[in-house]
Amino acid sequence: MTCPNLAYTDRSIDQLRARLIVLDATVGDSLIPQPLRDRAQTQAETVKAIIDRQISSSRHGTEQAGHQ
């Protein structure tokens, strides 16, 4: 479990996006054993959620800053 209060920089989000590419490739590779593909799928879902949450909070923060 990760801390929900983690802050991510643009660089760390870029690193997560790069990791997501690798995970998605692993999931789609039929030569990789199914348990490893399943693990990659779970990790990819976690990474996607982190990226989506960060993008959403960044947009929300930007919108609030514009209304002050």
31-59 pLDDT per residue, tens:
999 999 999 999 999 999 999 998 888 77
- Owning domain of residue 22: 10-62
Work out the number of other CB atoms within 10 angstroms of the CB of residue 1.
3
What the block records as the tokens of 44 is: 């990819």
The identity of residue 14, as a single letter, is D
Mean pLDDT over the full length of the chain: 86
pLDDT at 3 over 80: no
Domains of the chain: total: 1
- Specify whether the CB–CB gap between 36 and 26 falls below 8 A: yes
pLDDT at 23 over 70: yes
- The answer to whether residue 4 sits within a structural domain is no
- Return the pLDDT at 62: 56
Tell which wins on pLDDT, 9 or 2: 9
| Residue with token string 């983690």 | 6
Length of the chain: 68
